[in-house]
Amino acid sequence: MKANNPKHQRRWASDTVPNRTAVSSESSPAGTEYSSTEEFVEVTLDLQDDNTIVLRSVEPATVINIDDGVQAPAGAAVSASAPASRSASIRRSSSSKLRQFSQELKAEAVAKARQFSQELRAELVRRFSWGHSHSSRTPLAASAVVATQNGSVAESGFASALAARALRRERAQLDRTRSGAQKALRGLRFISTKTNGVDAWNQVEINFNNLAKDGFLFRADFAQCIGMRDSKEFALELFDALGRRRRLKADKISKEELYEFWSQITDQSFDSRLQIFFDMVDKNEDGRITEEQVKEIIMLSASANKLSRLKEQAEEYAALIMEELDPERLGYIELWQLETLLLQKDTYLNYSQALSYTSQALSQNLQGLRKKGPIRRWGTKLLYYLQENWRRIWVLTLWIMIMVGLFTWKFCQYKNKRAFEVMGYCLPTAKGAAETLKFNMALILMPVCRNTITWLRSTKLAYFIPFDDNINFHKTIAAAIVIGIILHAGDHLACDFPKLVRLSESAYEKTFHHDFGSHKPSYIDLVKGVEGVTGILMVILMVVAFTLATRWFRRNHIKLPKPFNRLTGFNAFWYSHHLFVIVYILLITHGQAVYLVHKWHLKTTWMYLVVPVLLYAGERTLRFFRSGSYPVRLLKVAIYPGNVLTLQMSKPPQFKYKSGQYMFVQCPAVSPFEWHPFSITSSPGDDYLSVHIRQLGDWTQELKRVFSEACEPPVAGKSGLLRADETTKKSLPKLLIDGPYGAPAQDYRNYDVLLLVGLGIGATPFISILKDLLNNIVKMEEEADSISDVSKSDPSSGSTDSSMTNKVCPKRKKTLKTTNAYFYWVTREQGSFDWFKGVMNEVADLDQRGVIEMHNYLTSVYEEGDARSALITMVQALNHAKNGVDIVSGTRVRTHFARPNWKRVFSKLCSKHCSARIGVFYCGAPVLAKELNKLCYEFNQKGPTKFEFHKEHF
């Protein structure tokens, strides 16, 4: 018989040859039930390079079926097989004796297997004990290599490597039995669907009918048919693997064959799905996976999950998997080794774990399941709504009451005039609306006086007034102004003026002689007068400003042809809003030439406007001079993937700010007039200022272009597509800054625990908070250590130390009120993690107490458990266990896949921080804000832990 070749060994589960010897019916304890029982043997074959097949071994594989479903392992048949006569006598015995014998046989087989493995291990260790000095984890790998180099012991070294792998396989099988494989093997799904199998197949069948040609589905349409349109390459490999299993190499399949494929893909058995995944890699069907094949499947998975960087390092990660799974250096891995890696995934993923989940969270959730009556439910909702919105409610109520009062006062005043007899209710309605317009045109300036609001945030008024809603209040007032304009201008133009024109000469002389002159004016005369012209111009300018300020125009959601495309974007919004300077001039002129009022002290328009206009003008003047007194020098510029520009500049000595605040930035090279707000990403303790700007509009696009021209390719070892600093030869564009200004996130110190949620570039306000929180923790620890050292060095200082401690402890307690912070960053692009890579690594290195917990989520990758991301999860776990670095983010922070389960996050926060006051700060798209706000409401009803939600506008 020829020598064995290690390259092409495979055990086929279907290669068992039945023994055709018939068994008499008497031998069956169940009568005719086992009248045709077949005995099987397991045959192991070697496929040689010259395409010859060598028989390695033939082993009996007796399977004993019993009433309770116990099945003796095939491997135990050799070590614990009974003589034929004994087996026959057992079959003729009663079923109870058969069950007893099977249990004894199983116990005997397991005992002999363990004894054999121990003896084999002892013998291998004795022969190759020198290998332990080379590798504590894989003692046989080095010995196999050395033995191979020595021709005289090559066969012995290879045999020992095979024996070591056989031993590891035996252990893996025992480990799987003990651990309950179903618990760890719920993943490796090929199809992610929320519907049941029948509904899912119905949709696939519909897709087949739409895509099929002449009753056949072509290979190119397979991905779209089964719902894997976004990962077509992966679906094609899956198609080929399923075809190879049926010895099918056609480019098209029928509906019956598609149903067979679908049944295998959606099989609930993990072993079946694992075999399919293995077959996708094992294209030559030799039962082995080489390093090159591992590299191919890594690149395929990276392509399906849009991880371009992972594809570049596929060779490195393939070697990492082979190093872990092939310590014997045989050059291939088998199915059971791939399964072992999946079982051990959670062992490797012991970094950045989620919060501990205790029964306390379950008890809190159960409280919310108790049935409540409809009255009690509505009462609870109303109470929560009042608790969350009482500041907004009383401010809006006061504002509405003022408008109603002004409207009623002016309405009654004009109802008693003689003009009411001619014009009717149109006149007092128009004048009442005009009074609310004057009030609102004055009030609308207050929410945008940012310096004033920033100062008021630090006062006790912040408890009563929701300064975080200043922009929303600004928009609400604008809506009231629109309603006022419609009532005022509409009544005058459509009702008052026509009635005045139709008035007889005698009635006119009696009623309006002193108001419009001796001659009765025509409709054109009324419109082209000072009052009419100023009013119409104000309406036109305000329509333009209001229209371009809407989300559709400001966010470029409306695409217009050239040259009208300039009417969309932030630039159009910015410049059109400055038309209100002209509007206010026209408004004062219009108020001075108002009809039916002749005494100056009754022309009250300027009285409403004087204070707000002076305050706003003062703020703009302050900003102008302050920006000139804040000279900044650019220290570093970097342009990262995702069109993000990072600007790091010198920090003016008088520029004092809090974490979470923002500042305005102007670049004269882009526009000498435009100022744009950006969150400050540096902490107050840093000696520089930094902002991260993502390209979202025309101004940011032009800013990136200007700095791209001044940047150079990155130095080796540094991240960023383009970089520039003080050593760059090209001169960097000039920058002006103004601020800082208040934001919701600056109040994070008021909470015991922080939940910071950022979507994409929305993570910027929280980066500064994380750095500031970490700096405060380190500072407080240093102060605590210094106090401890002083007390130890001078224990006799009694009252002095006591007084000093009393002074320090309250301050420390106040500073450390925030005990924990949980940062969740959700992004769609892998390159986004480069934006704050340095900050994340710094926090991970310095946070020895575990105060800050960071979680990265990449939504472009399929959720954990999906077959398309299974290998990426394995590589991620192995690389972090070995090197301490996440392969996706490049940091020490683990990257999770898909979107977070926010309900689970809130549940775990409740369990870990019972009765705490948790501040939930969010910056990102409005869709998630609604979900987080709803979860805050739900969990506030379930237990003593209270969540307060704040969202950032950008």
| Averaged pLDDT, groups of 10, the chain, 954 residues long | 38 33 36 42 54 52 41 38 38 48 61 60 48 36 40 61 75 57 58 60 88 88 86 86 79 87 82 82 83 86 82 84 82 80 60 38 42 72 79 93 94 86 86 93 92 86 86 92 92 86 80 75 85 91 91 80 78 86 92 80 87 91 81 83 85 86 88 86 86 83 83 59 63 84 83 89 86 76 66 50 40 58 88 81 75 86 80 81 81 84 89 87 86 87 84 70
CA distance 220 to 209: 15
Element of type H or E holding 920: strand 917-923
Q: Determine the pLDDT at residue 443.
A: 94
CATH class of the domain at 753-782+814-859+899-951: alpha beta
The dihedral through the CA atoms of 668, 671, 675, 680 has a sign that is negative
In the three-class reduction of DSSP (H, G, I as helix; E, B as strand; rest coil), residue 192 is classed as: coil
Instruction: Please choose, from the candidates 344, 323, 346, the residue with its C-alpha nearest in 3D space to the C-alpha of residue 333.
Output: 323
CA distance 61 to 38: 11
C-beta atoms surrounding 675 within 10 Å: 18
User: What are the residues facing 694 on neighbouring strands?
Assistant: 644
CB 689 within 8 A of CB 737: yes
CA distance 462 to 483: 30
CA distance 532 to 522: 13
Element of type H or E holding 480: helix 470-491
Q: Which amino acid belongs to residue 869?
A: S
Q: Determine the pLDDT at residue 654.
A: 83
Residue ranges per domain, the chain? 415-456+470-514, 529-595, 630-742, 753-782+814-859+899-951
Instruction: Please choose, from the candidates 774, 926, 753, the residue with its C-alpha nearest in 3D space to the C-alpha of residue 841.
Output: 774
Per CATH, the homologous superfamily of domain 630-742 is Translation factors (2.40.30.10)
Instruction: Please choose, from the candidates 860, 861, 888, 862, the residue with its C-alpha nearest in 3D space to the C-alpha of residue 190.
Output: 862
C-beta atoms surrounding 750 within 10 Å: 11
What pTM, to 2 d.p., does this model score? 0.68
Q: Spell out the long-range contacts of 671-676 with Cβ–Cβ below 8 A and sequence spacing 24 or more.
A: 671/571, 671/699, 671/702, 673/574, 673/575, 674/571, 674/574, 674/699, 675/623, 675/738, 676/570, 676/700
Q: Which amino acid belongs to residue 229?
A: R
Instruction: Please choose, from the candidates 417, 478, 419, the residue with its C-alpha nearest in 3D space to the C-alpha of residue 447.
Output: 478
CB 689 within 8 A of CB 632: yes
Q: Determine the pLDDT at residue 594.
A: 80
DSSP alpha helices (H): ranges in 180-290? 181-184, 197-211, 222-226, 232-245, 255-265, 270-281
Q: Which two tokens stand for residue 716?
A: 């080796």
Q: Determine the pLDDT at residue 111.
A: 65
Residue-wise DSSP of 409-472: HHHHHHHTSTHHHHHTTHHHHHHHHHHHHHHHHHHTTGGG-HHHHHHHHTSGGGGTS-GGGHHH
CA distance 425 to 293: 85
CA distance 484 to 478: 10
Q: Which two tokens stand for residue 168?
A: 């590891």
Phi, psi (deg, nearest 5) at residue 701: -65, -45
Residue partners of 539: CB distance under 8 A and separation at least 6? 485, 489
DSSP alpha helices (H): ranges in 816-856? 837-846
Instruction: Please choose, from the candidates 709, 738, 710, 737, the residue with its C-alpha nearest in 3D space to the C-alpha of residue 726.
Output: 710
CB 219 within 8 A of CB 251: yes
Q: Which two tokens stand for residue 536?
A: 């119409």
CA distance 571 to 733: 20
